[in-house]
């Protein structure tokens, strides 16, 4: 089944300095070696095709996609280092752990690709020699501001035992040496895996490192199966560890937190044993057993990879069997842990190896799903230092904060200042008042004296005018008189003062009256200003009195208004009564009936006149004596009647006029009634206003009292709060002192430690 996947791009030369865990998936590259002579001899054909320009491998019906594909028609194998490994070296220098794993069946080119069989002189372009070269190039470039400590170790895992390839060089024969002592795997308290007593050789140059690699390669246990005479059936792990310490000369460029930064990172270069199944090796006996052991590591590795590669299992927190083999325990960080990892799957293109090649490709495909979380590895002591440092900073800032005082304290102080200021002002004013009073008194005394003198002089003058001699006058001013005058004068002054005071109070009263009459809003404003904390203490009593006075004057005024209204009402009602006295409706009826009667009378008369005229007309046609007489008679009667009619008409007019007048007075009464109604409602309104006003005053007074109480309470609370804050401040100071002492102790300890470390390292170097 083809399982084409989207090609992924490996970030080139990524040198991310972030110390946050980076979620990286394991990058997988496939390296297809060319057909080698033995295969060509056997007449094998190429069964692997690489899609040109795509990281895609096709074998039979299977299609696989990886991060990179090298060899065959893909990228040139010489690009493996540049594209896959160089970024790892960069990361190594940034403090990340890195790993390169070579996987594949025996004879697929793992050792060739890794360069594990380094012999010293032949630079066949394997990965490890290139890594060594790059590391030292970089270290040399950074020498100015960074101290490096580079160490290497080289181990192999053979038959589930770990052996140190750098131990006791030269004495180990080419064949498997049973005398070799296996190394124990230990787990430290923080969960990292170490090898007890493994040789970690410090190297100062590329040549030194190459020497160790060559020596280890030599001592590597190799045997021969019918697959490949040179291939190894053991896992080999070459580890380069780098410790970097930034020297102080670089402190100016780096942030101060990096001044003491010590980064330690490891590069694992792993050449795994052949992945082929035991049955295909054709070996039996001891070799088969070896094969089983070799494959135990690979089997465990496969299980780890599938446990880590399955997204569903990973999310469920499924168990990862790292402990199933020594290999997986040692590579725990490289697979799904704190490391940036690249896997290189090596395959042979020969059709005879097709089955194993497909297995390898599937295995490699699964490894792509592994998510690692790489972090920058800082020295634990440095990390502790940094922690203490930041703690110290925090405490310092805290102290600063508490020194400057919290907001509440500040407010309290402000209030206290205000209060004292106002108190001072108050006392000053009081002093001034006293002074003024005193000077007033003095002036009054002087006025009395002057008045007295004047009066005396006037008396004398009067006496002189009356013709008394000077001596008499001098003697006449008896003591009694003077005293009497004095008392009179002082009494007069007293009375004058009384008068001015009275005048003043009335003036005040009037002023207040006007002010109060303005509006309620102003009253509220006054209330508002009365609430101000600062002025309250001083002006409260004065305010209160003023308010009281205002209130009473308002009440007085309103009462007066009410009385006025009452008077007006009474007047109107009296008027109304007058109207009511002459029963107008009866009068009107009377007049109307009379009018009616007159109308009827008038009509009767008119009819009579008509009749008479008729009769007259008849008579005039007959011309005789008696009819003449009758005619005269009729005429007389007619004129009389006409007279009566005109009189009646006059009377009627007069009546009409009377009626109109009556209507007018009725209207006036109506108006009066309305007015009375209006006054009444006004009165009600006024009464309501009075009530409202007194209610307002009452509530104002209550609020005022409450406010004073509350302010007193607040003052007490503030004082208490201040005491609390002071206590807290004291406590924080003590904590800070303790922490500072702790920090200095830690610094001292660290210094001692570094000193000791350095002295031992120097001793070791010699």
User: Any known ligand binding at 110?
Assistant: yes
108 touching Mg ion, by CB under 5 A? no
Q: Which of 66, 112, 154, 267 binds ligand ADP (CB under 6 A)?
A: 112
The answer to whether the beta carbons of residues 143 and 250 sit under 8 Å apart is no
Nearest-angstrom CA–CA distance, 135 and 143 = 12
Measured from the CB of residue 263, what is the shortest distance to ligand ADP in angstroms?
Answer: 33
CB of 104 to ligand ADP, least distance (A): 5
In the bound complex, what is the minimum distance in angstroms from residue 189's beta carbon to Mg ion?
Answer: 36
**What is the rounded CA–CA span in Å between residue 718 and residue 254?**
48
Contacts of ligand ADP in 65-84 (CB under 6 A): 77
Contact segment (CB under 6 A) with ligand ADP among 227-235, 327-335, 500-508, 637-645 equals 227-235
Among 56, 72, 97, 111, binds Mg ion (CB under 5 A): 111
Cβ-contact 350, 39 below 8 angstroms: yes
What whole-number distance in Å separates Cα of residue 309 and Cα of residue 335? 10
Q: Does residue 346 touch ligand ADP according to CB under 6 A?
A: yes
End-to-end C-alpha distance for the chain, whole angstroms: 63
| Best CA proximity match to 540, nearest among 717, 712, 719, 715 | 712
| Axis crossing angle, helix 584-621 with helix 625-765, rounded to the nearest 10 | 140
Q: Tell me the backbone φ, ψ of residue 720, rounded to 5 degrees.
A: -60, -45
Candidates 83, 97, 232, 553; binder of Mg ion (CB under 5 A) is 232
Say which entry of ligand ADP, Mg ion, none residue 363 contacts (CB below 5 to 8 A, set by partner kind).
none
Q: Does 230 bind ligand ADP (CB under 6 A)?
A: yes
**Tokens standing for residue 462:** 């009067």
Do strands 48-51 and 27-32 pair parallel, antiparallel, or not at all (unpaired)? unpaired
Between CA 203 and CA 740 the distance in angstroms is 40
Give the one entry of ligand ADP, Mg ion, none that residue 107 binds, where binding means its C-beta sits below a cut-off of 5 to 8 angstroms depending on kind: ligand ADP
Q: What is the 3-state secondary structure of 135-198? A: HHHHHHHHCCCEEEEEEEEEEEEECCEEEECCCCCCCCCCCCCCCCCCECEEECCCCCEEECCC
108 labeled binding residue: yes
The nearer residue to ligand ADP, 230 or 510, going by C-beta atoms, is 230
Looking at 217, 231, 325, 334, which residue binds ligand ADP (CB under 6 A)? 231
Q: Residue 759 CB: number of other CB atoms within 10 A?
A: 10
* 274 vs 336, beta carbon nearer ligand ADP: 274
Residue of closest CB approach to ligand ADP: 109
Helix (H), strand (E) at residue 496: helix 479-518
Q: How far is the CB of 240 from Mg ion (least distance, A)?
A: 20
107 sits near ligand ADP (criterion: CB under 6 A)? yes
For Mg ion, the closer CB: 231 or 244? 231
Question: Binding-site residue total for ligand ADP (CB under 6 A)?
Answer: 17
Pick the stretch among 32-40, 184-192, 374-382, 500-508 that binds ligand ADP (CB under 6 A).
Answer: 32-40
Part in contact with ligand ADP (CB under 6 A); list of ranges 31-39, 262-270, 568-576, 607-615: 31-39
Q: At what angle do helices 625-765 and 380-404 cross, to 10 degrees?
A: 140
Residue placing its CB nearer to ligand ADP in the complex, 199 or 357: 357
Is 405 assigned a ligand-binding role in the annotation? no
- 468 annotated as a binding-site residue: no
Told to check if 225 binds ligand ADP by CB under 6 A, we report no
Q: Which distant-in-sequence residues (6+ apart) come within 8 Å of 88 by Cβ?
A: 98, 99, 100, 267, 340, 342
Residues within the interface to ligand ADP (CB under 6 A): 33-34, 36, 77, 104, 106-112, 228, 230-231, 274, 346
Residues lying near Mg ion in the complex (CB under 5 A) are found at 110-111, 231-232
Binding residues for ATP: 104-111
């Amino acid at each position: 089944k083809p399982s084409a996947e989207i090609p992924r791009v490996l970030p080139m030369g990524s040198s991310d300095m972030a110390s946050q865990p980076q979620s990286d998936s394991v990058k997988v590259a496939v390296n297809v070696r060319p057909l080698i002579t033995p295969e060509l001899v056997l007449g094998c054909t190429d069964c692997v095709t690489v899609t040109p320009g795509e990281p895609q491998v096709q074998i039979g019906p299977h299609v696989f996609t990886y991060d990179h594909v090298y060899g065959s028609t893909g990228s040139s194998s010489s690009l493996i280092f540049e594209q896959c490994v160089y970024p790892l070296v960069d990361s190594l220098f940034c403090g990340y752990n890195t790993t390169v794993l070579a996987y594949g069946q025996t004879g697929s080119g793992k050792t060739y690709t890794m360069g594990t069989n380094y012999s010293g002189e032949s630079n066949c372009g394997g990965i490890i020699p290139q890594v060594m070269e790059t590391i030292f190039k970089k270290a040399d470039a950074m020498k100015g501001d960074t101290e490096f400590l580079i160490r290497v170790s080289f181990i192999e895992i053979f038959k589930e035992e770990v052996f140190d390839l750098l131990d006791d060089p030269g004495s180990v024969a080419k064949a498997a040496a049973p005398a070799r002592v296996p190394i124990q795997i230990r787990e430290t308290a923080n969960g990292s895996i170490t090898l007890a007593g493994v040789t970690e050789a410090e190297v100062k140059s590329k040549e030194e490192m190459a020497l160790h690699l060559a020596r280890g390669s030599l001592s590597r246990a190799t045997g021969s199966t019918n697959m490949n005479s040179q291939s190894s059936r053991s896992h080999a792990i070459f580890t380069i560890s780098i410790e970097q310490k930034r020297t102080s000369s670089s402190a100016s460029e780096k942030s101060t937190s990096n001044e003491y930064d010590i980064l330690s990172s490891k590069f694992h270069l792993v050449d795994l044993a052949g992945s082929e199944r035991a049955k295909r090796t054709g070996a039996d006996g001891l070799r088969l057993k070896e094969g089983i052991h070799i494959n135990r590591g690979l089997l465990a590795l496969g299980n780890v990879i599938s446990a880590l590669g399955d997204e569903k299992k990973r999310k469920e927190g499924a168990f990862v069997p790292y402990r199933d083999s020594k290999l997986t325990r040692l590579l725990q960080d490289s697979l799904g842990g704190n490391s940036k990892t690249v896997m290189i799957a090596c395959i042979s293109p020969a059709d005879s190896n097709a089955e194993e090649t497909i297995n390898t490709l599937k295995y490699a495909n699964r490894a792509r799903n592994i998510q690692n979380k790489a972090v920058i590895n800082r020295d634990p002591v440095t990390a502790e230092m940094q922690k203490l440092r930041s703690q110290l900073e925090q405490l310092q800032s805290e102290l600063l904060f508490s020194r400057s005082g919290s907001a509440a304290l500040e407010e309290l102080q402000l209030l206290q200042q205000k209060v004292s200021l106002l108190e001072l002002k108050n006392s000053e004013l009081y002093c001034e008042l006293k002074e003024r009073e005193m000077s007033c008194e003095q002036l009054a005394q002087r006025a009395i004296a002057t008045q007295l003198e004047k009066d005396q002089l006037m008396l004398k003058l009067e006496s002189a005018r009356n013709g008394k001699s000077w001596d008499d006058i001098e003697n006449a001013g008896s003591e009694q008189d003077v005293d009497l005058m004095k008392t009179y004068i002082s009494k007069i002054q007293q009375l004058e003062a009384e008068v001015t005071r009275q005048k003043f109070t009335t003036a005040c009263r009037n002023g207040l009256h006007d002010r109060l009459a303005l509006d309620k809003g102003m009253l509220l404003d006054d209330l508002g200003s009365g609430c101000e904390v600062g002025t309250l203490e001083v002006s409260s009593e004065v305010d209160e009195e003023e308010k009281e006075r205002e209130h009473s004057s308002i009440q007085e005024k309103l009462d007066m208004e009410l009385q006025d209204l009452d008077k007006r009402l009474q007047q109107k009602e009296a008027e109304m009564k007058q109207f009511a006295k002459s029963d107008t409706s009866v009068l009107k009826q009377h007049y109307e009936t009379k009018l009616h009667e007159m109308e009827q009378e008038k009509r009767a008369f008119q009819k009579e006149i008509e009749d008479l005229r008729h009769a007259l007309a008849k008579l005039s046609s007959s011309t005789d004596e008696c009819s003449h007489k009758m005619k005269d008679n009729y005429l007389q009667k007619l004129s009389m009647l006409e007279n009566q009619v005109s009189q009646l008409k006059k009377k009627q007019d007069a009546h009409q006029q009377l009626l109109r007048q009556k209507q007018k007075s009725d209207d006036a009464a109506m108006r009066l009634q309305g007015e009375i109604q209006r006054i009444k409602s006004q009165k009600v309104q006024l009464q309501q206003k009075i009530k409202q006003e007194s209610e307002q005053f009452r509530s104002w007074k209550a609020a005022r009292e409450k406010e004073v109480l509350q302010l007193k309470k607040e003052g007490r609370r503030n004082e208490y709060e201040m005491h609390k804050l002071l206590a807290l401040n004291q406590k924080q100071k003590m904590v800070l002192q303790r922490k500072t002492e702790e920090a200095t102790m830690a610094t001292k300890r660290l210094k001692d430690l570094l000193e000791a470390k350095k002295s031992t390292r120097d001793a070791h170097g010699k």
